[in-house]
Structure 1
């Protein structure tokens, strides 16, 4: 699934935990940015240190 800007997705972490992340888009270096809807933290995919996948659009 290719994420669309400003849409929220259900993300499954390698631990099995489900999170809701909003896709913020790509920066000029083509790095993808997300915001965790529960914590409000913004992060890039490059900063993640665990395996995850998009399960569905929320």
Structure 2
């Protein structure tokens, strides 16, 4: 699934934990930027140190 800027997704971490991340878009280097809605922290694909996958578009996304 290709994420859409501004949409919120349900993400499954390698631990099995489900999180809600909003896709903020892609920067000039091609890295996707995300916002963890629970913590308020933003991060890029390049900074992630664990496996994860998009499960689905959040109901309110």
TM-score (norm 1): 0.99
RMSD: 0.3
For structure 1, the residue ranges without an aligned partner over 5 or more in a row are none
The size of the alignment, in residue pairs, is 58
| Runs of 4 or more above 3 Å deviation | none
Per the TM alignment, residue 22 of structure 1 is displaced from its structure 2 partner at its CA by: 0.1
TM (norm. structure 2) is 0.94
